[in-house]
Amino acid sequence: MNDRSTLDPEDWAAFRRDAHAALDAALDHVEGRAARPVWQPVPEPVKEALSAPLPDAPSDTPELISRMVGEIAAHDLGNLHPRFHGWVHGAGTPEALIPAMFEAALDANLGGREHAAVYVERQVIGWWRQIFDFPAGAGGLMVSGTSMATLLAMKAALTRHGGTALRDGGLAALPGPVAAYASQEAHGCVARAFDILGLGRGVLRRVPVDGEFRIRTDRLEAMIAADRAAGIAPLALIGTAGSVNTGAIDPLDRLAGIAAAEGLWFHVDGAFGAMARLAPTLAPRLAGIERADSIAFDFHKWLHVTYDAGMILIRDAGALRHAFADRPDYLAGAERGPAAGDPWFTEFGPELSRGFRALRVWYQMLRFGPARLGACIAANCAQAAHLARLVEAAPDLELMAPAPLNIVCLRYRAPDETAAEALNTAIVLALQERGLAVPSTTRIGGRLAIRVNLTNHRTRMADMDALAGDILRLGAELA
């Protein structure tokens, strides 16, 4: 009876009771999260429990559920809370537990083969192809997020430029030096992609931005011309749809035109901003994104799908396959049977085993529909605009950058820069440590800013009033 070489329950009925208790405990966490402080320090006893060596003896299911509730969930970061505004975090949904249960029950490997799960991922890719008005030959791949998506896109761009001779010969097979272009506000994952690909971050030209933190196309064109004159081949142009500091959106249509004229691969980093496409009032600001060669974006941010889940969408699916296709003997395809299903997803990226994160996106998009998901996004942008107005109306506060989308950078004014740095650092820490709200910080032109990011479907307009009030109160208290 007690077969230790299987991991299935001996008593399924008892296990089901435990599993239902776990479900209620997990849902209790979500349902009750707003009533607790946004963030609290991790207590020392929890740190100790979570640094103990692996015990030899197994634990039973209820004990582990209790630990996940009392040690782990009780000391989360707070991103489910309406007043979490830090970095660019998704807020999750209780509905996410439904596909998560099936993801675990199926334990599907999306590397390829012939099973329904691969049709789900293809369908999700197809939906985003349509959302971005990409052509029928477009394709893509679910990835962990925009960092990986950017790496894959730049690998595809490099392969289109240098051909498959690069695969064996490496960068030494390139006909000559190359350069890529992105604004000074572009996300660090762009430079890192070139670092990983062996070109080095130095190939990425950082183009200055205008007063609204958008790439200056005049400077871009001058830099391209200078590179050409120096015998350097322009490879790729990266536009930003929603910069991480201020939410700025580059003039994508103009960039698309420049890329087309110059023969560059046009990539859009739309980590969170690309989701604005779902909001009819915001979508026009992304005009030109439909002309991109590739778009990288996340579902775990503004779509609130469980971490991690992103996508690379590629205008010419063949370019991605060209960069990665490589099937060893043990992964040979077949006309029929479970080894069928060509092309396999493994041919479009570096991973051979791939989780079923597509199910989370499939579920979220069907469950809520594009209009409601877009409404959540539009609501966050309205909240950002409201907060920006509150800041501008408060003499003690300074709006440090335009707030065109969902991010507001502000500070409490102080007599000098040293005082401002100390005071605003203290305000943010007080907000966080008192459990009131979690904004984060950044620097705008080198100056410290309180950064309020709104990718949270639980945040309400009143939370902006509360936040502005808290900052004013704390600024007076801590100055």
Q: To the nearest whole angstrom, how small is the minimum distance from the Cβ of residue 218 to a second copy?
A: 26
Contacts of 130 (CB under 8 A, 6+ apart): none
Of 88, 55, 414, nearest to 243 (Cα)?
88
Give 35-71 as a DSSP string. GS-S--PPPHHHHHHTTSPPPSSPPPHHHHHHHIIII
Q: To the nearest whole angstrom, how small is the minimum distance from the Cβ of residue 211 to a second copy?
A: 19
Per-position x/- string for 21-60, each x denoting binding to a second copy as judged by CB under 8 A, each - no binding: -xxx-xx-xxx-------x-xx---xx--xxxxxxxxxxx
Q: To the nearest whole angstrom, how small is the minimum distance from the Cβ of residue 395 to a second copy?
A: 27
Partners of 452 in the β-ladder: 408
Partners of 181 in the β-ladder: 205, 237
Side chain identity, residue 124? V
Which one of the spans 209-217, 257-265, 354-362, 415-423 is the region binding a second copy (CB under 8 A)? 354-362
For residue 55, CA distances in Å to 52, 67, 150, 317 come to: 8, 15, 40, 48
Partners of 453 in the β-ladder: 407
In whole angstroms, give the CA distance from residue 255 to residue 246: 19
- Environment class of 434 (CB within 10 Å of its CB; exposed 0-12, middle 13-18, buried 19+): middle
Q: To the nearest whole angstrom, how small is the minimum distance from the Cβ of residue 350 to a second copy?
A: 5
Of 37, 196, 402, 413, which one interacts with a second copy (CB under 8 A)?
Answer: 196
Q: To the nearest whole angstrom, how small is the minimum distance from the Cβ of residue 259 to a second copy?
A: 23
Map the footprint of a second copy across residues 106-125, applying CB under 8 A.
106-110, 113-117, 119-120, 122-123
Which one of the spans 72-80, 223-231, 312-320, 469-477 is the region binding a second copy (CB under 8 A)? 72-80
Count residues binding a second copy (CB under 8 A). Answer: 173
Map the footprint of a second copy across residues 205-264, applying CB under 8 A.
244-245
Of 83, 147, 427, 450, which one interacts with a second copy (CB under 8 A)?
Answer: 147
Q: To the nearest whole angstrom, how small is the minimum distance from the Cβ of residue 282 to a second copy?
A: 14
Map the footprint of a second copy across residues 162-191, applying CB under 8 A.
166-173, 187-189
In whole angstroms, give the CA distance from residue 344 to residue 139: 12
Per-position x/- string for 289-328, each x denoting binding to a second copy as judged by CB under 8 A, each - no binding: ---------x-xx--x-xxxxx-------------x-x-x
